[in-house]
């Protein structure tokens, strides 16, 4: 009995000690959250807020209530519940109301699960003020939209006048003057593509990129795109092979936009392969998954592993190659938005110095 009592006393002592250590760890953790410049809070495993730092009270009057959200923005509780059920972290941009000024400010909300022995113990959340950054982004988008619209108008008239000039002058095709006119037209076309891309970006920002779907034969579309590329490049410069099951079927899509995606992939495949002129277009029709996949493979410079996802981001260019090749880094961003609007996916797999395969999928229905 005495021995058992001694054991019990020892156990109680041990537990007390570990409770004290745990409490000091929690206090330390809360102190850390308190010192953050962001709003920080924790939630227990059932999703109830159980700690908030001082910053919280600039946006909420009580610990129990999340800050008030702008009426058009997603509901934090609902969004968090969805993530909690899946056991996944939440990331959300929301406008929340400052209790003193009454103004809404954009915040990035992040709530991350904390695991203990394989199960979620609690959640740690932060609201980071991104309002200034959002304002600058908005101004930049507005500038982009205005600049591209303003540039487009004079360019269209330059294009028309050069065409008129060419017709009026009736130049001998072999003359150097005719060569100059062709060069001017080539440069106008390049400028036109750049401005059109910028306009597309501003349309995407404003949710105005319209997709007009109608049933289109995908195989014909692919052949047309390949033909366009061959015509606009020197024959020695490109060799495009066609592999896989041909999607000789009608698929609901926006013909012009999907052709734009394919032409972009093909142009990049050629541009980023200075020492190899071979490109392969492979298609797969997956009846079970009800989708078609188009791969564009090149044997060029490739992209490092950790930069592959970023190439679809706006204005992103791989640093190592950005000086050698001209570009603005928006082509793939536009492509991914176009495919997204078709409910498909884009992606890339690549090995540095061996080549890349860019792909997109489209649902068959």
Summarize as ranges the residues that interact with ligand ADP (CB under 6 A).
268-269, 272, 298, 300-303, 311, 316-318, 321, 327-333, 356
28 CB-contact burial (10 Å; exposed 0-12 / middle 13-18 / buried 19+): exposed
As a whole number of angstroms, the distance between CA 217 and CA 220 comes to: 6
Q: Which is nearer to ligand ADP, 31 or 351 (CB)?
A: 351
Residue 285 Rama label (left phi>0; alpha psi -120 to 50; beta) = beta
CB of 61 to ligand ADP, least distance (A): 46
- The nearer residue to ligand ADP, 190 or 246, going by C-beta atoms, is 190
Q: Compare residues 28 and 315 and give the one whose CB is closer to ligand ADP.
A: 315
Give residue 331's Cα distance to chain centre. 12
Cβ of residue 130: shortest distance to ligand ADP, in angstroms? Answer: 25
Number of other residues whose CB lies within 10 A of the CB of residue 342: 20
Nearest residue relative to ligand ADP (C-beta): 327
Cα–Cα distance between 251 and 254 in angstroms, integer? 9
Are 277 and 236 in contact, with CB atoms under 8 Å apart?
yes
Q: Which is nearer to ligand ADP, 276 or 341 (CB)?
A: 276
Q: For 204, how many CA atoms within 13 A lie in the half-sphere containing its CB? A: 21
Q: Please state the closest distance from residue 339 (CB atom) to ligand ADP, in A.
A: 13
CA distance 258 to 334: 11
CB of 350 to ligand ADP, least distance (A): 7
Minimal CA–CA distance to 348: which of 332, 334, 337?
332
Closest CB 317 distance from ligand ADP, rounded Å = 3
Which C-beta is closer to ligand ADP: that of 111 or that of 270?
270
Residue closer to ligand ADP, measured from CB, 186 or 252: 186
Least CB distance from residue 38 to ligand ADP, whole Å? 32
């Amino acid at each position: 009995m005495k021995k058992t009592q001694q054991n019990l006393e020892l156990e109680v002592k041990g537990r007390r000690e570990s409770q004290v250590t745990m409490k000091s760890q929690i206090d330390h953790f809360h102190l850390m959250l308190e010192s953050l410049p962001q709003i920080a809070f924790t939630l227990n495993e059932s999703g109830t807020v159980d700690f908030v730092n001082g910053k919280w009270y600039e946006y909420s009057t009580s610990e129990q209530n999340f800050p008030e959200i702008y009426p058009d923005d997603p509901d934090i509780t609902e969004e968090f519940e969805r993530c909690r059920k899946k056991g996944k972290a939440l990331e959300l941009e929301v406008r929340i109301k400052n209790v003193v000024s009454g103004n809404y400010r954009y915040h990035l909300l992040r709530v991350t699960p904390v695991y203990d022995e394989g199960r979620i113990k609690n959640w740690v959340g932060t609201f980071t003020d991104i309002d200034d950054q959002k304002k600058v982004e908005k101004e930049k988008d507005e500038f982009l939209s205005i600049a591209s619209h303003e540039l487009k108008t004079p360019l269209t008239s330059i294009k028309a006048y050069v065409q008129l000039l060419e017709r009026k002058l009736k130049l001998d095709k072999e003359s150097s003057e005719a060569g100059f006119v062709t060069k001017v037209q080539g440069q106008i076309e390049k400028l036109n593509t750049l401005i059109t891309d910028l306009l597309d970006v501003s349309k995407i920002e404003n949710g105005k990129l319209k997709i007009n779907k109608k049933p289109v034969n995908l195989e014909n579309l692919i052949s047309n795109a390949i033909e366009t590329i061959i015509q606009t490049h020197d024959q020695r410069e490109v060799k495009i092979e066609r592999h896989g099951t041909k999607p000789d079927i009608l698929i609901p899509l926006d013909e012009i936009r999907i052709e734009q995606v394919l032409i972009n992939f093909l142009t990049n495949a050629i541009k980023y392969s200075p020492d190899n002129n071979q490109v392969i277009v492979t298609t797969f029709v997956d009846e079970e998954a009800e989708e078609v996949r188009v791969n564009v493979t090149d044997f060029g410079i490739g992209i490092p592993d950790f930069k592959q996802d970023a190439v679809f981001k706006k204005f992103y260019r791989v640093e190592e190659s950005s000086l050698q090749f001209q570009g603005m880094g928006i082509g793939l961003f536009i492509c991914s938005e176009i495919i997204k609007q078709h409910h498909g996916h884009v992606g890339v797999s690549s090995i540095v110095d061996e080549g890349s395969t860019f792909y997109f999928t489209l649902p068959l229905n």
